[in-house]
Protein backbone atom coordinates (compact mmCIF):
# COMPACT_ATOMS: atom_id res chain seq x y z
CA UNK A 1 0.00 0.00 0.00
CA UNK A 2 2.87 2.41 0.79
CA UNK A 3 4.27 1.90 -2.73
CA UNK A 4 0.94 2.96 -4.22
CA UNK A 5 0.88 6.17 -2.15
CA UNK A 6 4.58 6.82 -2.81
CA UNK A 7 3.89 6.65 -6.54
CA UNK A 8 0.89 8.97 -6.26
CA UNK A 9 2.95 11.53 -4.33
CA UNK A 10 5.85 11.19 -6.78
CA UNK A 11 3.51 11.72 -9.73
CA UNK A 12 1.83 14.72 -8.05
CA UNK A 13 5.09 16.49 -7.21
CA UNK A 14 6.63 15.64 -10.59
CA UNK A 15 3.55 17.13 -12.27
CA UNK A 16 3.77 20.33 -10.20
CA UNK A 17 7.50 20.64 -10.91
CA UNK A 18 6.92 20.03 -14.61
CA UNK A 19 4.28 22.79 -14.70
CA UNK A 20 6.85 25.09 -13.08
CA UNK A 21 9.48 24.18 -15.70
CA UNK A 22 11.63 21.87 -13.56
CA UNK A 23 11.93 18.91 -15.92
CA UNK A 24 15.40 17.66 -14.92
CA UNK A 25 14.66 17.13 -11.24
CA UNK A 26 14.61 13.86 -9.34
CA UNK A 27 11.80 13.18 -6.86
CA UNK A 28 12.52 10.47 -4.27
CA UNK A 29 9.60 9.43 -2.06
CA UNK A 30 9.97 6.97 0.79
CA UNK A 31 7.58 6.12 3.58
CA UNK A 32 7.63 4.16 6.78
CA UNK A 33 4.83 3.31 9.17
CA UNK A 34 5.70 3.83 12.82
CA UNK A 35 3.12 3.38 15.58
CA UNK A 36 0.15 3.63 13.19
CA UNK A 37 1.48 6.85 11.63
CA UNK A 38 2.88 6.98 8.11
CA UNK A 39 6.03 9.10 7.83
CA UNK A 40 6.55 10.25 4.24
CA UNK A 41 9.88 11.71 3.12
CA UNK A 42 10.18 13.56 -0.19
CA UNK A 43 13.59 14.62 -1.48
CA UNK A 44 13.80 16.76 -4.60
CA UNK A 45 17.21 16.88 -6.25
CA UNK A 46 18.55 18.59 -9.33
CA UNK A 47 20.32 21.68 -10.61
CA UNK A 48 19.18 25.27 -10.27
CA UNK A 49 16.67 24.70 -7.49
CA UNK A 50 17.24 28.00 -5.67
CA UNK A 51 14.12 29.64 -7.12
CA UNK A 52 12.08 26.56 -6.25
CA UNK A 53 13.31 26.82 -2.64
CA UNK A 54 12.58 30.56 -2.58
CA UNK A 55 13.64 33.32 -0.23
CA UNK A 56 14.08 31.80 3.25
CA UNK A 57 12.43 28.60 1.96
CA UNK A 58 9.03 30.23 1.31
CA UNK A 59 8.41 28.36 -1.96
CA UNK A 60 9.52 25.11 -0.31
CA UNK A 61 6.96 25.74 2.45
CA UNK A 62 4.28 26.37 -0.19
CA UNK A 63 5.09 23.13 -2.01
CA UNK A 64 4.96 21.35 1.35
CA UNK A 65 1.48 22.78 2.02
CA UNK A 66 0.26 21.82 -1.46
CA UNK A 67 1.57 18.29 -0.99
CA UNK A 68 -0.10 17.98 2.43
CA UNK A 69 -3.40 19.14 0.90
CA UNK A 70 -3.00 16.54 -1.86
CA UNK A 71 -2.16 13.81 0.65
CA UNK A 72 -5.28 14.63 2.69
CA UNK A 73 -7.32 14.07 -0.46
CA UNK A 74 -5.59 10.81 -1.43
CA UNK A 75 -5.04 9.07 1.91
CA UNK A 76 -7.94 7.62 3.90
CA UNK A 77 -9.23 10.01 6.59
CA UNK A 78 -8.24 7.50 9.27
CA UNK A 79 -4.58 7.39 8.14
CA UNK A 80 -2.28 9.58 10.25
CA UNK A 81 0.49 10.99 8.06
CA UNK A 82 3.49 13.28 8.51
CA UNK A 83 5.45 14.80 5.64
CA UNK A 84 9.08 15.84 5.43
CA UNK A 85 9.85 17.57 2.13
CA UNK A 86 13.29 18.91 1.23
CA UNK A 87 14.63 20.50 -1.92
CA UNK A 88 18.34 20.39 -2.76
CA UNK A 89 19.27 19.50 0.85
CA UNK A 90 18.05 22.94 1.97
CA UNK A 91 17.11 21.74 5.45
CA UNK A 92 20.30 19.73 5.95
CA UNK A 93 22.39 22.77 5.01
CA UNK A 94 20.28 24.91 7.33
CA UNK A 95 20.68 22.40 10.20
CA UNK A 96 24.46 22.35 9.69
CA UNK A 97 24.57 26.15 9.84
CA UNK A 98 22.45 26.17 13.04
CA UNK A 99 24.70 23.54 14.66
CA UNK A 100 27.74 25.71 13.92
CA UNK A 101 25.97 28.72 15.45
CA UNK A 102 25.13 26.68 18.56
CA UNK A 103 28.76 25.59 18.96
CA UNK A 104 29.89 29.22 18.81
CA UNK A 105 27.15 30.35 21.19
CA UNK A 106 27.99 27.59 23.71
CA UNK A 107 31.64 28.61 23.71
CA UNK A 108 30.63 32.24 24.23
CA UNK A 109 28.31 31.33 27.12
CA UNK A 110 31.05 29.27 28.78
CA UNK A 111 33.69 31.95 28.28
CA UNK A 112 31.63 34.97 29.35
CA UNK A 113 29.30 33.16 31.78
CA UNK A 114 26.42 35.17 30.26
CA UNK A 115 23.31 34.09 28.33
CA UNK A 116 23.29 34.06 24.52
CA UNK A 117 20.04 34.92 22.72
CA UNK A 118 19.34 33.72 19.19
CA UNK A 119 17.19 35.71 16.79
CA UNK A 120 13.56 34.59 16.42
CA UNK A 121 13.18 31.46 14.31
CA UNK A 122 10.67 28.76 13.40
CA UNK A 123 10.00 25.80 15.72
CA UNK A 124 11.97 23.33 13.58
CA UNK A 125 15.17 25.37 13.97
CA UNK A 126 14.60 26.06 17.67
CA UNK A 127 14.34 22.30 18.15
CA UNK A 128 17.72 21.81 16.44
CA UNK A 129 19.25 24.31 18.90
CA UNK A 130 17.74 22.55 21.93
CA UNK A 131 18.86 19.11 20.73
CA UNK A 132 22.37 20.29 19.88
CA UNK A 133 22.73 22.13 23.21
CA UNK A 134 21.63 19.03 25.17
CA UNK A 135 25.08 17.59 24.48
CA UNK A 136 26.62 20.20 26.81
CA UNK A 137 26.04 19.62 30.52
CA UNK A 138 27.25 23.06 31.64
CA UNK A 139 24.56 25.03 29.81
CA UNK A 140 20.77 24.98 29.48
CA UNK A 141 18.33 26.34 26.93
CA UNK A 142 14.91 27.97 27.08
CA UNK A 143 12.53 29.22 24.43
CA UNK A 144 10.98 32.62 25.06
CA UNK A 145 8.63 34.98 23.26
CA UNK A 146 5.39 34.39 21.41
CA UNK A 147 4.53 33.52 17.82
CA UNK A 148 6.94 34.89 15.23
CA UNK A 149 9.06 36.44 18.03
CA UNK A 150 9.83 33.07 19.71
CA UNK A 151 13.56 32.44 20.16
CA UNK A 152 16.04 30.35 22.14
CA UNK A 153 18.33 31.57 24.89
CA UNK A 154 21.35 29.55 26.03
CA UNK A 155 22.19 30.05 29.70
CA UNK A 156 25.11 28.90 31.81
CA UNK A 157 23.88 25.91 33.86
CA UNK A 158 24.39 27.85 37.10
CA UNK A 159 22.25 30.82 35.96
CA UNK A 160 19.03 31.34 37.95
CA UNK A 161 15.82 30.19 36.32
CA UNK A 162 13.95 32.90 34.47
CA UNK A 163 10.59 33.93 35.93
CA UNK A 164 7.49 32.76 34.07
CA UNK A 165 6.12 35.52 31.86
pTM of the model: 0.75
**Is residue 12 over pLDDT 90?**
yes
- Average pLDDT of 145-152? 94
Q: Where are the domains of the chain?
A: 2-88, 93-156
CATH ID of 2-88, from 3.30.300.20, 3.90.226.10, 3.40.50.300, 3.40.30.10: 3.30.300.20
Q: What's the CATH fold of domain 93-156?
A: Ribosomal Protein S8; Chain: A, domain 1 (3.30.1370)
**Is residue 146 over pLDDT 60?**
yes
165 band by pLDDT with thresholds 50, 70 and 90: very low
CB atoms within 10 A of CB 41: 15
The separation between CA 41 and the C-alpha centre of its own chain, rounded to angstroms, equals 12
**133 vs 25, higher pLDDT:** 133
The reply to whether 2-88 and 93-156 are identical in fold is no
Q: How far apart are CA 72 and CA 115, in angstroms?
A: 43
pLDDT, tens digit, 9 for 90 and up, residues 65-107: 999 999 999 988 888 889 999 999 999 999 999 999 999 999 9
pLDDT, tens digit, 9 for 90 and up, residues 17-65: 999 988 778 999 999 988 888 899 999 999 889 999 999 899 999 999 9
DSSP single-letter state for residue 115: -
Amino acid sequence: MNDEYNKKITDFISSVLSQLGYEATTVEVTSEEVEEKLHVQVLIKGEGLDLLIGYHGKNLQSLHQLTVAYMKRVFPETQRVSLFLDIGDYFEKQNTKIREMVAQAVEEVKLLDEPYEFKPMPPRLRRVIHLEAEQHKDIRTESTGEGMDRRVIIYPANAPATPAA
